[in-house]
Structures are given as C-alpha cells and as structure tokens.
Amino acid sequence: MRNGPTWFNVTSIVLGFSFLYLPIVLLVIFSFNESRLVTVWGGFSTKWYGELLKNDQLLSAAWVTLKVAFLSASLATVLGTMAALVLVRSGRFRGRSLFSGMIFAPLVMPDVILGLSLLLLFVAMDQTRGFWTVMLAHTTFAMCYVAVVVQSRLVGFDKSVEEAAEDLGCPPAKTFFLITLPIILPGVIAGWMLAFTLSLDDLVVASFTTGPGATTLPMKIYSQVRLGVTPEINAVCTILVCLVTIGVIAASIASKRQQIQREQDERAAFGAD
C-alpha cells in the first residue's frame, strides 16, 4: 500500500519500545550508582556488586533458586513434551477435553490460587514443606507452558518421516528419539528455558509452598523491596536481567542458524535428485 513506514507507525513503535525498556535501562544504570540514595546520581561505582558477594543470605537464596529452577525446568520439559505429544498425536481418548483444559488453565490461573491450592495439597499429604515442594509446584505450572511451546512446534511437523521410520520397522520409542526429538528440539529447548525463567521469577507460588530453610531469591528480593529501594537490589536485578537477555538472544541465534542449516540441507537433498 504505502511505501515505507509512516510517521505514525514509527512514532508508536519508538514510544512503545521506550516505555518497555526505559524502566529496565534506568534500573541497570542506577545499579552502578555510588550513592546509597537510589535516585540521586553520585558517580560511577561497582561497589554494590562487591557488596553482593559478601551477602551470604542472598547468595544462598540464589543457589536454592538455581537448583529449584534447574530441576523443575528439566522435569517440566519431560512432562510438558509428553503432554504436547498427547495433545497433537494421541487423537481422541476418554477425558481429552479435561486434559487440554488442565494444560491451558494454569497459564491464566492467578498465582495466589495455584500457590494456596498446592500448599493445601502438600499439607493434606503430610509433606514437610521446603525445597522439594517448591520444585514440584514449579514443575506443575511450568509443564503447561512447555506443552504449549512444544505443541506449536509439533503442529507444523512433517509426519511422513516418522511414518517412514515405522514402516521400516523402527519401534515407536526409537522413532521418537531418532526422528521426532531432533526435529522438535528447538521447541523443547525453548520450553526448558521458559520453564527455567518462570521458576527463577516466581514469588507467589514459592512463598506459599516453601518451608523453613528454602528461601528463594525472589522471596529475598521481595522482602527487601518492601523495606525500600536499595542499590544492592538493583545490582541483583541487573545480573538477572543480563543473564536472561544473553540466554534468550543466544538461543534465538542458535535456532535461526539451525533453521538456515536445515534449509540448506533440504536444498542440497532436492538438488541431488
């Protein structure tokens, strides 16, 4: 229609993205502030990062959080991939709509309800609350996100390669690991990363389901934020933001490369005909 973007479109994009990014950029800038007053610039300094390394409570909370995130993301990826296979491949079975309902409902369910209901389950099961209960809780809601991500990958999947393998006598499990998994791998990896960051992020569900001795980083940050804004918290947040940004960008570059590689392979294969 029109050639090139109009001024209106450019303005709305620029304003929109400044709104999205300005707060985070300011947060990062003020983590390098010399002054303890977070909003008054007192010169450049990295001393708050140094302070962090001395803060044992924060470091141990970070360690707990990473362990929970790693375990729950891995378990959620296995369960979520299975759920996605069921949604896309298993056809009709009894209770299918309940199953898909249980996959999609946690995506929009308020955290307070998820947290409270899981806590009451753990109490009813007479479980000691702590590390493992948080891990199980995170696995439960993260697997639904993984299922949705992997599902979208499975939908645009050429089934004929799988059928070819099965016709040649390859057992289903072997077909899955040799054919299906490599093709949906970018979706599985993206699902794992999403599950990992969701777990890293979560304050509400963890607060409900945790017990003594298993304080996660968001819980620690939250209790300090309630006392006021401090440059140390800015520094923690900056580190988290950087890690996540690097991870996401690296993953998207890797998946793009793989896609280009695959297109080249396909072209080569068809060229050889």
Partner 1 sequence: MSIETSGKPKRSIGGRLLIAVPYVWLLVFFLAPFFIVFKISLSEVAIAIPPYLPTFDVAAGWREFWGNLSRFSFDNYIWLTEDALYWKSYLSSVVIAGTSTLLTLLVGYPIAYGMARSPKAWRPTLLMLVILPFWTSFLIRVYAWIGILKNEGLLNQVLLWLGVIDQPLVILNTNIAVYIGIIYSYLPFLVLPLYANLEKLDESLLEAAEDLGCPAWKAFWKITLPLSLPGVIAGCFLVFIPAVGEFVIPDLLGGSNTLMIGKTLWVEFFANRDWPVSSAVAVILLLLLVVPIVLFQNQQQKMAEKDA
Query: Within positions 200 to 219, which residues make up the interface with partner 1, using CB under 8 A?
Result: 200-201, 203-204, 207-208, 218
Question: Which residues in 160-199 contact partner 1 (CB under 8 A)?
Answer: 162-163, 166, 172-173, 194, 197
Q: CA angle, corner 26, sides to 24 and 29, nearest 5? A: 110
- Are 188 and 181 in contact by the 8 Å Cβ rule? The answer is yes
Looking at beta carbons only, is 18 or 264 nearer to partner 1? Answer: 18
Shortest reach from residue 94's CB to partner 1, in Å: 9
Cα distances from 76 to residues 59, 73, 97, 272, in angstroms, run: 25, 5, 21, 41
Piece of 52-60, 66-74, 115-123, 257-265 that binds partner 1 (CB under 8 A): 115-123
Q: Does 49 contact partner 1 by CB under 8 A?
A: no
Among 24, 164, 181, 250, the residue binding partner 1 under the rule CB under 8 A is 24
**Whole-angstrom Cα distance, residue 228 to residue 110?**
26
Q: How far is the CB of 46 from partner 1 (least distance, A)?
A: 19
Token reading at 227? 């006392």
Q: How far is the CB of 184 from partner 1 (least distance, A)?
A: 14
d(CA 15, CA 10): 9
Residue number, 200 or 272, with CB nearest to partner 1: 200
Distances (CA, A) of 169 to 68, 158, 237: 40, 19, 53
Report the residue from 102, 170, 183, 185 that binds partner 1 according to the rule CB under 8 A.
102
